[in-house]
Amino acid sequence: MTSEKVYLIDSSIYVFRAWFTVPDDVVNGENEPVNAVYGFADFVYQFLRQTRPQYIAFAFDDSLRTSFRNQLYPEYKANREPAPEELKRQFAYCRQFLQALGLFETARPRFEADDIIGTLAKHMRERGHPITIVTSDKDLAQLIFENDILWNFAKGQRHSIPQIRQQFGVYPSQIADQLAIAGDKTDNIHGAPGIGMATAAKLLNRFSSLEDLLANCSEIGSMKIRGAKRIQGLIENHRENLLLYKKLTTIRCDIEFPDAISLRWKSPDIPALEELFDKFGFGNFRRERWLDMLRA
């Protein structure tokens, strides 16, 4: 085990947050909105200044509609509106900015940022690195192993396995099962209607996984939980759906990446950064703040 942490950033969340919180009258010289770029760049600056990472990766979602999960279940995330064109353009600007900073960033059309983070976490964990996943998305808690941290940067909350166990009532390895049973409204996954996260946790404390639960479904009715017989019926009636939902809630950790992939922070491309500062309309204060930090 090495002490060199790897930081994996669930980047799209921070772009969306900036889009909604920074006023949309922040525009560049061509009168294009750059509010999401400004907010995301401020987040990246604060994060880099605070952590001074050696190894870091920024994962983005490429599309709402092209994930392998959409092929399995067309309703997946169908409750979400596609990003408007002006936001898509700002996503591209954010990624260009990271590239100019010498930071690794990536997106995949068939996979989500969660799957990229899961794969990179596995890749770097096998090389002895402790992993810190930076996100406010509960789904990513399933990726936390011993020595790993789930960090909600905005709230300053760092969770390891004991805190995740306390919050969810299950171990990280059971969270995909819990979400499959209880559903996840944000992703349009219905679960077994009438069973919430707390009841799903009770079931998974008795049975180790969804598969184990389904194999021993007849035992649910004798559990000392409220409405045990009703819950048994709900699980039996939604058996096939629950197995499908688990395929949706389980984060993939097997995306193909080159073995030689490097997440080390490389030297920034200062001329490219200067061009982007111009494109974004950054003033002297923002420019100098970035350049001072990079020189240091």
Residue by residue, pLDDT tens for the chain (296 residues) are 667 999 999 999 999 999 999 998 999 999 999 999 999 999 999 999 999 999 999 999 987 789 999 999 999 999 998 889 999 999 999 999 999 999 999 999 999 999 999 999 999 999 999 999 999 998 899 999 999 999 999 999 999 999 999 999 999 999 999 999 999 999 999 999 999 999 999 999 999 999 999 999 999 999 999 999 999 999 999 999 999 999 999 999 999 998 889 999 999 999 999 999 999 999 999 999 999 999 88
> The domain that contains 44 carries what CATH number?
3.40.50.1010
Tell whether 151 and 46 lie within a shared domain.
yes
Tell whether 108 and 95 lie within a shared domain.
yes
User: Distance between CA atoms of 159 and 206, rounded to whole angstroms?
Assistant: 24
Phi then psi for 164, rounded to 5 degrees? -65, -45
Tell whether 58 and 161 lie within a shared domain.
yes
Tell whether 275 and 256 lie within a shared domain.
yes
Residue 81 sits at the vertex; the CA angle it makes with 75 and 82, to the nearest 5 degrees, is 100
- Residue 94 has, within 13 A of its CA and on its CB side, a CA count of 34
- Within 8 A by CB and 6+ apart from 175, the residues are 138, 139, 141, 142, 164, 168, 249
> The domain that contains 236 carries what CATH number?
1.10.150.20
* Domain count within the chain: 2
User: Distance between CA atoms of 128 and 9, rounded to whole angstroms?
Assistant: 19
Tell whether 267 and 235 lie within a shared domain.
no
**Structural domain includes residue 296:** no
pTM: 0.96
What angle do the packed helices 11-21 and 35-51 form, to 10 degrees?
A: 130
The boundaries of the domain holding residue 20 are: 6-167+252-290
**Strand 149-152 with 157-159, pairing:** antiparallel
**Are 83 and 91 spatial neighbours (Cβ–Cβ below 8 Å)?**
yes
User: Distance between CA atoms of 268 and 87, rounded to whole angstroms?
Assistant: 25
Question: What is the end-to-end Cα distance of the chain in Å, rounded?
Answer: 28
**Are 73 and 244 spatial neighbours (Cβ–Cβ below 8 Å)?**
yes
Tell whether 124 and 223 lie within a shared domain.
no
Structure-token match 């996260």, residue found = 197
**Structural domain includes residue 17:** yes
